[in-house]
């Protein structure tokens, strides 16, 4: 039984009114001495009892009348699942155990196990049990099984195998995830949520905490909090390189001022230990100066040595690259032209790890192509057939080319490599400024290219792309400005204008640097990899799958042979450094805990009470309306109104009888 | 309601009129004289003044009754005796329990009415030269004066009656038992009470007196409000003896209670008859003519 408007239950206080009035009435009779009650006792007592009974009946009717009125306004909702759907009154008990990182704190996990054990013990033999672990997602560990001794033992053994993870729990997502899991369930369901109920796990909208009804059945949720009050906790929140130094940031949550010690290691080798004070509930940055890094990727581990009750977030991993610059070939008829200058300046300004290596196109040795991560060609029209053939093979095997069009290109009928027909350059194109009309921002290379719309173009080479090509940027006259064509395992991107600031002003626009950086990352095959990830996130395998392997921090291969070709992503479940092997080589990805899990403050009692109250009224009025005709979620107010009417009638008749009997007495 | 009396004698017998007199002796004398005045107009004339016989004077006799005419002729002293004069005595038993204090508005209480009646009976008995005594009781004997024909006895009895106060509960068994122990001579016993007791209890108390040879007359004194109660609203009635409270409705007191009172009276009347006692129901709203007339008949019957 639930109440849609429980505040109206306060109307029960009105019951005091008839009680008070009846009390006054019983005190009303005139007191008078009489010679003897001997002749009154035998008969009058019976009359008196009868009269008292009448008074009590009248009082009871009036109390019932007011009580029914209050109940009707409170809108009671009969939420017990109908017996008709299940011949037995057995229930399905789902034990939802929070396995997020905060549960590793001190005694919380053991308390959670004890609570789960208590619930399992109390479940009746006719019921059924299911165990679900929840962190970043819901994972059915076992069940549903009949809650017999054998079934309970099975759930207990599964329970003992569980352990707290390093992931984060979001209560809103948790409640949403219940619906598909319970969709096939036909019995009434009770979900026991066992958690420390961190405040950081609350959703933005409180309504997300209330599970929706599944198949017209209301999901009953019981919240079991195993943590009270906040617990101080330190966490390493960031490791970053600043010049030759490495800065380690430590954050305190509800902590007192103290002195902390942080140890830094690079590729497993200690690089120093630092101690410094940290203010109460504050932040401290530990600066390790002149840290020597190996060439290539370096595994950095910063560990807080002043251990607290939650150790999982006392360590932070990151990957720092230390390379001299990956070579990019810049092939041009005139390598010293201004286009090369703009490109080199842009890569330098972006702090990119790419090194632009200009080369005269007719003197370029095609055997050197494999050394470069990708190739930039200034005016595709100058590419010879031999070079075009070599570039084609290079692209087919995973290479990438960024090409511009220029004076030579517009003289051709068909562009090399891409084989797009070249259109006639209109005479009125000379000197007329055109702007960018459409940019495909969903493309990985253009995610930061919104500034392209401010670029002015005065000349371009009109081309007619084939079906295999994709237009990424269009001018306002509809002519393609940037196109991509995939060939084999590689790709080529063509700018139908130049980069020398004569056909357009792109090289001098701010967007040029970010565009070039993203383009280089995309073409080199690094665009799908983020070096810093959180536990519970997914690692996209757009390019990794081609090479076929992801190795977790424990050294275990996550993909089977078939998965290496099909899997689109890998779930990062462990804290540490993953190794992703791609065609371009291996990359390291550091995975750390979610900062929200480090804040061990539980939600306030009011928030907890609101949630508990919310899940006790799981159906909104609209949902009740949508399930009208179904036995569950049945509103009782109209039944109460009917009873109210009967009570009013009975009270009127009885009260009138009493009044008329008094009036008949002769004066 | 009693009829409004018209003659001066009837008026004098009204309890309210008698109660306005100062002393109990005066009250009793007024009552008896009023009664006797009325009696002369009644078929029962000739009472007490008819000559019966002469008896030789003995010490202790009142010298006022010496017939000096006979002394002058015979030189002997004789006492002149009248018809009503016998060697009898009257014992008045007055119930002084708390319930006797009940009085409806504007009426004498049952106890005051009983006091006047007791005093009148004592005065009338003394007037007839009977020895008279009194016993005041409630749940025990509170005051007792043995019957005697001595000078000053009437005054003492009237004083005893006048000083009594209604209090405590009613218990006929104990006082009547004690009375039997102290008075063994045959005579008349007048019991004045509201008899709020079980008729069987009353019969058990009175019957031994009859076996002892006493002639018993029971004066059952009730207030008009007890005989025919009038309540216009629900009332909480408090028992004057026990303090017990009973809430009554006007309808029930109007319809059912009088029936139960009449049934109780009838039971008392039958119990009295079975015990060999006379029974007289008295309404405190009525004059004393009724009890005195009944006493007169009662005494006549005994002769």
Whether residue B61 is found in the same domain as residue B96? no
- The residue among A619, A609, A645, A626 whose CA lies nearest residue A76 is A619
> How many Cα atoms sit within 13 Å of A361 on the Cβ side?
25
Strand ranges inside chain B, DSSP E: 51-56, 78-82, 89-95, 131-137, 141-148, 188-193, 215-222, 235-239, 245-248, 278-283
Of A421 and A354, the one with more pLDDT: A421
Is the pLDDT at A78 greater than 80? The verdict is: no
Contact A481, A437 (CB under 8 A): no
Chain A residues close to B110, C-beta within 8 Å = 35
How many helices (H) and strands (E) would you count in chain B? 12, 10
Residue of B199, B249, B261, B262 for testing the chain A interface, max A β-carbons within 10 Å? B249
Q: Does A31 touch chain B (CB under 8 A)?
A: yes
Q: Which of A40-44, A194-198, A543-547 has the highest mean pLDDT?
A: A194-198
Q: Does A622 touch chain B (CB under 8 A)?
A: no
- Please list, in sequence order, all residues whose beta carbon lies within 8 angstroms of the beta carbon of residue A507, skipping any fewer than 6 positions away: A338, A339, A342, A346, A499, A500, A501
Q: Does residue B36 lie in a domain region?
A: no
Interchain CB distance below 8 Å, A39 and B264: yes
Nearest to A30 among B99, B235, B239 (CB): B235
Whether residue B74 is found in the same domain as residue B141? no
Q: Does residue B40 lie in a domain region?
A: no
Interchain CB distance below 8 Å, A36 and B236: no
- Taken in order of first residue, the domains within chain A and their CATH numbers are 2-29+40-78+649-663 (no CATH), 91-230+602-632 (3.40.50.410), 233-322 (2.60.40.10), 326-523 (3.40.50.880), 532-592 (no CATH)
Average pLDDT, chain A: 81
Interchain CB distance below 8 Å, B249 and A661: yes
Q: Does B4 touch chain A (CB under 8 A)?
A: no
Q: Does B266 touch chain A (CB under 8 A)?
A: no
Q: Domain range spanning residue B283?
A: 8-21+87-302
Q: How many CB atoms lie within 10 A of CB B229?
A: 20
Q: Does A659 touch chain B (CB under 8 A)?
A: no
Quote the pLDDT of residue A287.
93
Quote the pLDDT of residue A263.
93
With cut-offs at 50, 70 and 90, classify the pLDDT of residue A82.
very low
Q: Does A30 touch chain B (CB under 8 A)?
A: yes
Whether residue B123 is found in the same domain as residue B196? yes
Residues 534-573 of A with CB under 8 A from B: none
Quote the pLDDT of residue A400.
92
Q: What percent of chain A has pLDDT over 90?
A: 19
Whether residue B278 is found in the same domain as residue B249? yes
Of A164 and A425, the one with more pLDDT: A164
Sign of the Cα pseudo-torsion (A620, A623, A628, A634, in order): negative
Of A8 and A372, the one with more pLDDT: A372
Q: What is the DSSP string of A496-533?
A: SS-SSSSSBSGGGSTHHHHHHHHHHHHHTT-TT--SEE
Q: Does residue B31 lie in a domain region?
A: no
Is the pLDDT at A615 greater than 90? The verdict is: no
Q: Does A47 touch chain B (CB under 8 A)?
A: yes
Whether residue B162 is found in the same domain as residue B206? yes
Nearest CA distance, B4 vs chain A (angstrom):
24
Interchain CB distance below 8 Å, A29 and B99: no
Residue of B168, B169, B246, B261 for testing the chain A interface, max A β-carbons within 10 Å? B246
With cut-offs at 50, 70 and 90, classify the pLDDT of residue A33.
confident
Residue burial B234-259, b: 16+ Cβ < 10 Å; e: rest: bbbbebbbeebbbbbbbbbbbebbee
For the question of whether the overall pTM of this predicted structure is more than 0.80, the answer is no
Nearest CA distance, A29 vs chain B (angstrom):
5
Q: Does residue B190 lie in a domain region?
A: yes
Q: Does A660 touch chain B (CB under 8 A)?
A: no
Distance CA A166, CA B244 (A): 80
Whether residue B108 is found in the same domain as residue B213? yes
Quote the pLDDT of residue B96.
94
Q: Does B95 touch chain A (CB under 8 A)?
A: no
Chain B residues close to A39, C-beta within 8 Å = 196, 257, 260-261, 264
Nearest CA distance, B108 vs chain A (angstrom):
14
Interchain CB distance below 8 Å, B234 and A662: yes
Q: Does residue B3 lie in a domain region?
A: no
- B223 to chain A: nearest residue by CA? A35
> How many Cα atoms sit within 13 Å of B92 on the Cβ side?
28
Is the pLDDT at A624 greater than 50? The verdict is: no
- Please list, in sequence order, all residues whose beta carbon lies within 8 angstroms of the beta carbon of residue A176, skipping any fewer than 6 positions away: A208, A211
Interchain CB distance below 8 Å, B252 and A665: no
Whether residue B125 is found in the same domain as residue B228? yes
Q: Does A53 touch chain B (CB under 8 A)?
A: no
Chain B residues close to A663, C-beta within 8 Å = none
Contact A461, A405 (CB under 8 A): yes
Q: Does residue B37 lie in a domain region?
A: no
Whether residue B95 is found in the same domain as residue B76? no
Chain B residues close to A48, C-beta within 8 Å = 246-248
Q: Does A49 touch chain B (CB under 8 A)?
A: no
Chain B residues close to A667, C-beta within 8 Å = 232
Q: Does B52 touch chain A (CB under 8 A)?
A: no
Contact A307, A505 (CB under 8 A): no
Is the pLDDT at A45 greater than 60? The verdict is: no
Chain B residues close to A657, C-beta within 8 Å = none
Contact A195, A221 (CB under 8 A): no
Q: Does residue B28 lie in a domain region?
A: no
Q: Does B105 touch chain A (CB under 8 A)?
A: no
Nearest to B250 among A36, A48, A665 (CB): A665
With cut-offs at 50, 70 and 90, classify the pLDDT of residue A204.
confident
Whether residue B15 is found in the same domain as residue B137? yes
Beta bridge partners of A24: none
Q: Does A27 touch chain B (CB under 8 A)?
A: no
pLDDT tens for chain B, 303 residues long, are 344 444 444 555 567 666 666 577 777 777 777 776 655 443 333 344 555 567 788 777 778 778 888 888 888 888 876 654 455 788 999 999 999 999 988 888 999 999 989 988 888 888 777 888 999 999 888 998 988 878 788 889 999 998 999 998 888 888 888 888 877 777 888 999 999 888 888 888 888 888 888 888 899 999 999 988 888 877 888 888 888 888 787 878 888 888 889 999 999 999 988 888 889 898 998 888 778 877 777 776 654
Q: Does B237 touch chain A (CB under 8 A)?
A: yes
Quote the pLDDT of residue A316.
93
> How many Cα atoms sit within 13 Å of B140 on the Cβ side?
1
Quote the pLDDT of residue B263.
93
Chain A residues close to B232, C-beta within 8 Å = 665-667
Interchain CB distance below 8 Å, A32 and B235: yes
Whether residue B139 is found in the same domain as residue B64? no
Distance CA A453, CA A476 (A): 10
Contact B221, B284 (CB under 8 A): yes
Nearest to A51 among B99, B249, B261 (CB): B249
Quote the pLDDT of residue B26.
73
Interchain CB distance below 8 Å, B110 and A28: no
Chain A residues close to B237, C-beta within 8 Å = 32-34, 37, 40
- Whether cis (ω within 30° of 0) applies to the bond prior to A144 is yes
Quote the pLDDT of residue A540.
74
- Across the A:B interface, residue pairs with CB atoms under 8 Å apart total 100
Distance CA B123, CA B190 (A): 13
Give the containing element (helix H, strand E) for B176: helix B173-182
CATH number of the domain residue B178 falls in: 3.40.50.410
Residue with tokens 């109908």: A82
How many domains does chain B fold into? 2
Chain A residues close to B194, C-beta within 8 Å = 35-36
Distance CA A153, CA B284 (A): 93
| The two three-digit tokens of residue A191, written as one number | 């979900």
Q: Does A667 touch chain B (CB under 8 A)?
A: yes
Nearest to B244 among A29, A37, A661 (CB): A37
Whether residue B265 is found in the same domain as residue B206? yes
Nearest to B252 among A41, A44, A667 (CB): A44
Residues 121-180 of B with CB under 8 A from A: none
Whether residue B207 is found in the same domain as residue B63? no
C-alpha distances in Å from residue A189, one per residue of A76, A129, A608: 20, 10, 21
Quote the pLDDT of residue B37.
64
Q: Which of A261-275, A447-461, A514-528 has the highest mean pLDDT?
A: A261-275
What value does the mean pLDDT take over residues A109-120?
Answer: 90
What value does the mean pLDDT take over residues A93-107?
Answer: 88
Q: Does residue B39 lie in a domain region?
A: no
Nearest to B239 among A34, A45, A667 (CB): A34
């Amino acid at each position: 039984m639930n109440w849609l408007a429980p505040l109206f239950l306060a109307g029960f206080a009105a019951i005091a009114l008839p009680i008070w009035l009846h009390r006054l009435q019983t005190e009303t009779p005139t007191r008078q001495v009489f010679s003897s009650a001997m002749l009154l006792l035998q008969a009058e007592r019976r009359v008196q009892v009868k009269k008292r009974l009448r008074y009590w009946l009248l009082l009871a009717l009036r109390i019932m009348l007011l009580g029914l009125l209050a109940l009707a306004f409170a809108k009671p909702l009969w939420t017990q699942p109908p017996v008709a759907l299940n011949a037995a009154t057995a229930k399905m008990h789902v034990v939802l155990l929070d396995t997020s990182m905060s549960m590793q704190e001190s005694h919380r996990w053991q308390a959670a196990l004890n609570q789960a054990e208590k619930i399992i013990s109390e479940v009746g033999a006719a019921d059924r049990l299911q165990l679900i672990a929840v962190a970043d997602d819901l994972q059915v560990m076992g069940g549903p099984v009949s809650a017999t001794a054998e079934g309970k033992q099975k759930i207990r053994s599964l329970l003992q195998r569980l352990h707290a993870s390093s992931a984060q729990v979001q209560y809103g997502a948790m409640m949403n995830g219940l619906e598909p899991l319970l969709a096939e369930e036909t019995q009434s369901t009770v979900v026991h949520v066992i958690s420390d109920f961190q405040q950081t796990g609350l959703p933005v909208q409180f309504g997300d905490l209330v599970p929706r009804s599944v198949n017209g059945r209301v999901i009953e949720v019981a919240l079991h909090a195993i943590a009270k009050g906040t617990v101080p906790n330190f966490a390493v929140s960031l490791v970053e390189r600043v010049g030759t130094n490495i800065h380690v940031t430590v954050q305190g949550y509800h902590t007192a001022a103290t002195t902390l010690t942080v140890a830094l290691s690079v590729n497993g080798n200690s690089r120093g230990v630092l101690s410094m004070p940290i203010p109460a509930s504050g932040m401290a940055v530990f600066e390790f100066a002149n840290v020597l890094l190996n060439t290539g990727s370096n595994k950095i581990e910063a560990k807080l040595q002043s251990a607290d009750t939650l150790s999982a977030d006392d360590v932070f991993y990151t990957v720092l690259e230390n390379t001299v610059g990956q070579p990019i070939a810049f092939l041009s008829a005139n390598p010293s032209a201004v286009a090369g200058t703009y490109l080199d300046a842009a890569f330098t300004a972006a702090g990119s790890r790419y090194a632009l290596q200009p080369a005269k196109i007719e003197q370029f040795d095609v055997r050197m192509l494999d050394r470069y991560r990708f190739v930039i060609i200034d005016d595709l029209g100058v590419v010879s057939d031999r070079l075009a053939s070599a570039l084609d093979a290079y692209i087919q095997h995973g290479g990438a080319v960024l090409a511009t069009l220029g004076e030579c290109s517009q003289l051709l009928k068909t562009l090399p490599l891409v084989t797009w027909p070249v259109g006639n350059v209109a005479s009125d194109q000379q000197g007329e400024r055109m702007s960018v009309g459409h940019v495909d921002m969903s493309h990985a290379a253009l995610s930061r290219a919104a500034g392209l719309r401010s670029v002015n173009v005065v000349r371009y080479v009109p081309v007619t792309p084939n079906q295999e090509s994709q237009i990424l940027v269009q001018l306002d006259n509809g002519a393609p400005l940037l196109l991509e064509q995939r060939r084999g395992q590689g790709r080529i991107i063509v700018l139908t204008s130049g980069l020398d600031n004569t056909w357009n002003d792109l090289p001098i626009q701010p967007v040029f640097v970010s565009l070039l950086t993203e383009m280089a990352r995309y073409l080199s095959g690094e665009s799908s990899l983020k070096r810093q990830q959180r536990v519970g996130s997914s690692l996209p395998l757009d390019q990794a799958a081609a090479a076929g392997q992801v190795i977790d921090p424990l050294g275990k291969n996550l993909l089977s042979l078939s998965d290496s070709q099909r899997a689109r992503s890998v779930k990062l479940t462990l804290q540490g450094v993953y190794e992703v092997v791609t065609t371009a080589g291996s990359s390291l990805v550091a995975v750390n805990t979610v900062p929200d899990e480090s804040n061990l403050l539980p939600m306030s009692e009011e928030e907890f009470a609101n949630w508990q109250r919310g899940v006790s009224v799981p159906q909104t009025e609209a949902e009740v309306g949508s399930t009208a005709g179904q036995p569950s979620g049945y509103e009782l107010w109209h039944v109460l109104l009917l009873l109210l009417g009967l009570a009013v009638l009975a009270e009127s008749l009885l009260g009138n009888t009493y009044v008329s009997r008094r009036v008949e007495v002769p004066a | 309601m009693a009829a409004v009396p018209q003659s001066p004698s009837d008026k004098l017998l009204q309890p309210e009129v008698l109660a306005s007199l100062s002393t109990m002796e005066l009250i009793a004398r007024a009552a008896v004289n009023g009664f006797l005045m009325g009696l002369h107009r009644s078929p029962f004339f000739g009472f007490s003044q008819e000559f019966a016989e002469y008896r030789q004077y003995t010490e202790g006799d009142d010298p006022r009754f010496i017939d000096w005419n006979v002394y002058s002729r015979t030189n002997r002293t004789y006492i002149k005796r009248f018809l009503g004069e016998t060697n009898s005595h009257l014992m008045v038993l007055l119930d002084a329990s708390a319930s006797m204090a009940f009085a409806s508005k504007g009426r004498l209480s049952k106890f005051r009415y009983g006091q006047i009646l007791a005093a009148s009976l004592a005065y009338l008995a003394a007037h007839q030269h009977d020895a008279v005594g009194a016993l005041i009781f409630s749940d025990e004997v509170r005051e007792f004066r043995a019957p005697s024909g001595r000078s000053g006895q009437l005054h003492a009895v009237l004083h005893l009656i006048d000083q009594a106060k209604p209090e405590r509960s009613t218990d006929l068994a104990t006082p009547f038992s004690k009375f039997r122990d102290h008075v063994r001579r045959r005579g008349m016993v007048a019991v004045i009470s509201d008899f709020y007791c079980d008729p069987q209890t009353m019969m058990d108390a009175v019957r031994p007196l009859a076996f002892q040879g006493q002639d018993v007359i029971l004066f059952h004194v009730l207030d008009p409000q007890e005989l025919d109660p009038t309540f216009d609203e629900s009332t909480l009635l408090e028992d004057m003896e026990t303090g017990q409270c009973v809430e009554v409705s006007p309808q029930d007191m109007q319809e059912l209670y009088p029936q139960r009172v009449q049934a109780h009276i009838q039971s008392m009347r039958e119990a009295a008859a079975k015990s060999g006692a006379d029974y007289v129901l008295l309404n405190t709203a009525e004059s004393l003519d009724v009890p005195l007339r009944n006493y007169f008949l009662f005494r006549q019957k005994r002769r």
